Amino acid sequence: MHHLRDRGYAHPLASDITSREVYEGRRTWLKAAALSAGAGASLWAQQQAYAQTAAPGKLAALAATRSSVPGAMTLDKPSSYADASTYNNYYEFGTDKAEPAKRAFSLKTRPWTLAIEGEVKKPRVFGLEDLLTLSAQEERIYRLRCVEGWSMVVPWIGYSLSELIKRVEPTGKAKFIQFISLADKQQMPGLSSSVLDWPYAEGLRMDEAMHPLTLLTFGMYGEVLPNQNGAPLRIIVPWKYGFKSGKSIVKIRFLPEQPATSWSKAAPREYGFYANVNPSVAHPRWSQASERRIGEDGLFQRKRPTQMFNGYEAQVGSLYAGMDLSRYY
């Protein structure tokens, strides 16, 4: 099957124009920097990291407290909301990065349910409001790295997926977890494409799903998720390439065997089940040793070296001790 990808298009970025929220964020940061000038480089970096996390005032606010999970609050400067919400991979709304923001208005996110099936003692169907109140919402600033060679830093809002998993009580047979996304042709024009078998399906090993960094996600930048970013709920697994973090989830299955996943089925030589960010393992058609941070688009801006496990090696490296990560890519 011919694999559609970025095709080398020079996608226009919203970062080419300074948006109001970015301008105001910079002004806020300058005030904060002046106040903290004598507090040292660490405090300066922390102020910079939070400069663009204020709610942009586009969607409903979603209150959250800062996460205390180790590794959940990177000091990297967050990408602008404009970039994070207009440069997206969401093939249900088109294969071009700009298409989801233009076309996802058709997605209806209320009412919404999430079905829990398979090897659990308490299978059930959750309403969205049930999920939102299941655990306290946290803000986490995570790096997001995509296999095409670009990255962002996004302030996500949600709580550890393990909170939901514990409520449904997996049986001893549950070794893997599978996520199924919505597939509705009336709402999602991209489903007419044969680039993937629909619905979109992804999966994790149970210990990966239970790791506290794996986030059941409802919002970003202080607000609910925009449609093009996977509303109303999605998964974020920050040490893996972005395609592992399924959007608009409607079903979670607990399984005894490793499940099929959409990209592994479409192009098994290129996309493995694990998809851990690993600069030493190249994609068959390009290197993964460096990345371009969206928003850093100047002519002389150098690419960043890719970090092992996307910079989360200290938190998640032990999950893969003894594994050949070239074979299990």
What would the pLDDT profile of 220-236 be if each residue is shown by its tens digit?
999 999 999 999 999 99
Phi, psi of 66 (to 5 degrees): -65, 140
207 contact partners, CB below 8 Å, separation of at least 6: 319
Residue 194's pLDDT is 94
Kindly state whether residue 51 falls inside one of the protein's structural domains. no
CA 210 – CA 282 distance, rounded (Å): 28
pTM, to two decimals: 0.84
Residue 299's pLDDT is 64
Strands (DSSP E) contained in 161-214 are 176-181, 201-205
Kindly state whether residue 326 falls inside one of the protein's structural domains. no
Residue 56's pLDDT is 86
Looking at residue 109, which CATH number applies to its domain? 3.90.420.10
Residue 253's pLDDT is 98
Angular region, 169: left φ>0, alpha ψ -120 to 50, beta rest: left
Kindly state whether residue 52 falls inside one of the protein's structural domains. no
Q: Give the residue numbers spanning the domain of 217.
A: 62-320
The CA distances from residue 130 to 114, 139, 168, in Å, are 10, 19, 13
| The pLDDT of residue 17 is above 60 | no
| % of the chain at pLDDT higher than 70 | 83
Kindly state whether residue 23 falls inside one of the protein's structural domains. no
Residue 58's pLDDT is 87
Counting the structural domains of the chain, the total is 1
Kindly state whether residue 14 falls inside one of the protein's structural domains. no
Strand, coil or helix: 171: coil
| The pLDDT of residue 134 is above 60 | yes
Kindly state whether residue 153 falls inside one of the protein's structural domains. yes
Kindly state whether residue 235 falls inside one of the protein's structural domains. yes
146 contact partners, CB below 8 Å, separation of at least 6: 89, 241, 242, 243
Kindly state whether residue 43 falls inside one of the protein's structural domains. no
Average pLDDT, the chain: 87
